[in-house]
Amino acid sequence: NAGVMQNPRHLVRRRGQEARLRCSPMKGHSHVYWYRQLPEEGLKFMVYLQKENIIDESGMPKERFSAEFPKEGPSILRIQQVVRGDSAAYFCAISELSPRGAPNTGELFFGEGSRLTVL
Amino acid sequence: KQEVTQIPAALSVPEGENLVLNCSFTDSAIYNLQWFRQDPGKGLTSLLLIQSSQREQTSGRLNASLDKSSGRSTLYIAASQPGDSATYLCAVNSYGQNFVFGPGTRLSVLP
C-alpha cells in the first residue's frame, strides 16, 4: 500500500458539515479509483478519475458527493452536508498498467483508507 | 452488469488445514481477477492477480485458479496459520466496468 497515501486516516464530522478526503498516488500514476466500504458491507465503486478528468462516476451518489484530481496535488473526495449514513471507510486505489498497456486493466493497489464517522 | 459472489461467507478452521475459498462472477468477459486480503480496520492487500488468459497463479502457500467459462475462481491456502485470519475478497475487472468486488469470506484460523 506504500504507493497510495490517504489522509486523514480518521475523520469525525457532525451532521451537516463537510468532509474532504485526500488521496496521493505515487509519482507516475495519473489514474485513481475511489471505493466506499459501509460497515459490514462490501466495497462499492464510486468514481474513476484521471488527472483533470472524470472517467467514470457511475457509482457516485447524485447529490453531495464530488471528486476531483487536479493537475497538481492529490485527488479529493468531497462530501457536503454529511449525514450519519455517510459513515464508512473510503478507499483510494491505483491501477498498474496491464501487459497491454491499458491504464485500468492492471493490478489494483489500495491505500489504507479514510474512516469517516458522522455524529 | 457484473455480479460477484463469494462462498462461504465465513470459515473457521484449525491451524494447519488446507482450505479453499470460492468466488463466482456472472459475466465472463473479464480483463482479470484479483484476490485481496483485508485485516480489520485496514486497507486491502493484493494477494494474486490472474489475467483472463491465465488459468492459475501461485504465491507461497497461496494458489488461485480461474475458470472463465464457468465464471469461477478459487483461492487455495495451504497449511493455514493463525496469521492468515482476515477477510478475503475477490474483485473482477470486466470490459466496460470497473473492478467489482465480492462480499468477502471471513477466515478465522484457530491455533
pLDDT for the residue A98? 52
Q: Tell if the CB–CB gap between A105 and B93 is shorter than 8 Å.
A: yes
| Optimal mutation site among A35, A40, A43, interface B, most CBs of chain B within 10 A | A43
Nearest CA-CA distance, residue B23 and chain A, Å? 14
> Which amino acid belongs to residue B13?
V
Nearest CA-CA distance, residue A52 and chain B, Å? 19
What string of pLDDT tens digits covers the 111 residues of chain B? 899 999 999 999 999 999 999 999 999 988 899 999 999 888 999 999 998 889 999 999 999 999 999 999 999 999 999 999 999 999 998 876 778 999 999 999 999
Binning chain B into helix, strand and coil, the percentages to the nearest 5 are: 5, 60, 40
| Optimal mutation site among A107, A112, A115, interface B, most CBs of chain B within 10 A | A107
More confident residue, A101 or A12: A12
How far apart are the C-alpha atoms of A102 and A96, rounded to whole Å? 9
Dump strand ranges (E) for B15-102.
19-25, 30-38, 44-51, 56-59, 62-67, 72-77, 86-94, 100-101
Nearest CA-CA distance, residue B61 and chain A, Å? 20
How far apart are the C-alpha atoms of B15 and B83, rounded to whole Å? 10
Residues of B in contact with A111 (CB under 8 A): 43
Burial of A20 per CB tally in 10 Å (0-12, 13-18, 19+): middle
How far apart are the C-alpha atoms of A102 and A51, rounded to whole Å? 16
pLDDT for the residue A84? 95
pLDDT for the residue A104? 55
Nearest CA in chain B to A2: B45
